[in-house]
Each structure stands twice: as C-alpha cells, then as structure tokens.
Amino acid sequence: MLNRSHVLNLVRAALAEDVGSGDATTLAVIPADLQTTAAMVTRKDCICAGLPLAEMLFEELDSGLAFEALVADGDACRAGQTLAVIRGSARAILTGERTALNFVQRLSGIATLTRRYVDALGSTCRTRILDTRKTTPGWRLLEKYAVRMGGGQNHRFPTRSRMSRPRPRPAPSISSSTI
C-alpha cells in the first residue's frame, strides 16, 4: 500500500532534519558497542498506523537493527500494548526513536480518528468516510494510508485529478395533491 521509494525519501528527509550528522547526547553518553532492546508501547487505545515507516527508519539508521512488529497497521490496540520491539545498537535506537515515534503517533492519530467516524456511522449506513486531498505537504500518501488503516476511503489524490461525475437521479415527481 505504501510506495517504498517515496517513504524512504520521507524517512531520509526526516532523519536529516531531526538528526542531521548525529545525536550529540547519544554519541557523548552511550558506548558505541552497547546493545539494547526497546519496545514501542501505546499509551492510549488506538488504531495502529506507521509501523512500516518506523521499520524503514531504523533500517536506514543501522541495517543491523532487528525490528519486530507485534501488531499490523490497521489493528485496534489497547493502552499499554506493545506495538513493536527493536533490538540492536543502543545508539541507533536512541537516535531514531523520536523520529519513528513521530511517524507512528501522527499516522495512528489519523487512523484512530477515522475509525471513530467509521464506527459512528455503523455497518448498515451507506455513507462512507472519505479523506481530503488537502493534506500536509509531502505527507499526502502517508495521511491517505492512515485513513485507509482506520477504515476510511481515499478520495482523489492530486488536485488535478478529475472529479467523478454525479450519477443522474430521476427528478422527484410533484403533483398538485402534494403541494
């Protein structure tokens, strides 16, 4: 569902912005050979979205890290549930954890809110929740992905996309007895 090269470009841009040439505190305090295990745990009930981005981010930082997703994007998760476990270099994990969490938190937030709207409609309603093309610059594919993970549907992607033509509906009949 996610275009790997597009996501990898976003991951690289986020790391360049957030980390730059390295996390100064981590480099100064954490021994280079220290290995650790970290868990990504949700604080609130949510619909998970963004784990593939977190995995790509950690892989980009250190291909020796092991990322294990314990849930899938689109899963309903309870507060306190572990979403993923990351094992390997403590420096790499600490360097990428904030950026990875930013992706997962934002996309899970969108998916969770979308699911609330979908659930509010109920399964017998013909109305569908659609996203908008008015998205955060550079994040359109990610935000639309999160809407799908929450049970919504995607509207058109770029503004240049054609709008669908409305289906013709029969005109209501009016008689003198109804006026």
Q: Which residues are catalytic?
A: 134
| Distance (Å) of CA 160 to CA 125, 130, 133, 163 | 30, 18, 10, 9
Q: Which of 91, 94, 36, 42 is nearest to 66 (CA)?
A: 36
In degrees, rounded to 5, the angle at the alpha carbon of residue 50 between the alpha carbons of residues 49 and 51 is 105
d(CA 39, CA 162): 44
The tokens for 18 are 């957030």
Q: What is the DSSP code (8-state) at residue 130?
A: B
Alpha helices, DSSP H only, in the chain?
4-18, 24-29, 51-61, 90-121, 140-149
Rg for the chain, CA atoms, rounded = 21
